[in-house]
């Protein structure tokens, strides 16, 4: 008979245990708080204005407080492609304490800004008005602002 020799088992190399990374907490994205813009003035209305008696291409600005009272002395800056000018409300008290105007050149586009923190009102140009007799003439643009904060 043949003898069978039992060989000892072959050792297999075992890997040392590895550190399993623990799950990490993920933070949800947060919104960065943004400050609400603070404007010196709010535009209440913007309208074309035709006056058959005056017939001037004006930017007319009226400025009121929260109670609707006219505000004289408000600086208004007018910009256009080739320049800048300005005026102050209240210089024509016979019209209104809050009234100010600027004469436009027909065919030129303007923007108006009150204060330093109020966005400009752009795209202003003299509209074409039609008189009672049917004759066209350049009209005005009337802006009403309210002081706010």
Query: Among 61, 125, 133, 136, which Cα is nearest to 95's?
Result: 61
The alpha-carbon radius of gyration of the chain (Å, integer) is: 37
Q: What is the pLDDT of residues 123-149, one digit of tens each?
A: 999 999 999 999 999 999 999 999 975
The Cα 131–Cα 121 span in angstroms is 27
- What mean pLDDT value characterizes the chain? 83
| Residue positions counted in the chain | 149
pTM of this structure: 0.73
Pairing type for strands 83-88 and 75-80 reads antiparallel
Q: What is the pLDDT of residues 62-97, one digit of tens each?
A: 999 999 999 999 999 999 999 999 999 999 999 999
Which DSSP helix (H) or strand (E) runs through 113?
Answer: strand 110-114
The Cα 92–Cα 101 span in angstroms is 9
SS3 84: strand
Confidence of residue 102 (pLDDT cuts 50, 70, 90): very high
């Amino acid at each position: 008979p043949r003898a069978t020799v039992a060989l000892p088992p072959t050792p297999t190399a075992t890997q040392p245990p590895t550190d399993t990374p623990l799950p990490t907490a993920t933070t949800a994205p947060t919104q960065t708080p943004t400050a609400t813009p603070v404007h010196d003035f709010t535009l209440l209305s913007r309208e074309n204005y035709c006056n058959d008696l005056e017939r001037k291409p004006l930017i007319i600005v009226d400025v009121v407080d929260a109670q609707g009272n006219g505000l004289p002395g408000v600086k208004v800056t007018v910009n256009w492609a080739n320049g800048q000018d300005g005026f102050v409300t209240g210089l024509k008290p016979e019209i209104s304490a809050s009234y100010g105007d600027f004469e436009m050149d027909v065919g030129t586009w303007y923007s108006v800004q009150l204060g330093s923190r109020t966005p400009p009102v752009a795209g202003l140009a003299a509209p074409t008005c039609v008189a009672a007799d049917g004759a066209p003439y350049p009209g005005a643009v009337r802006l009403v602002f309210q002081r706010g904060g």
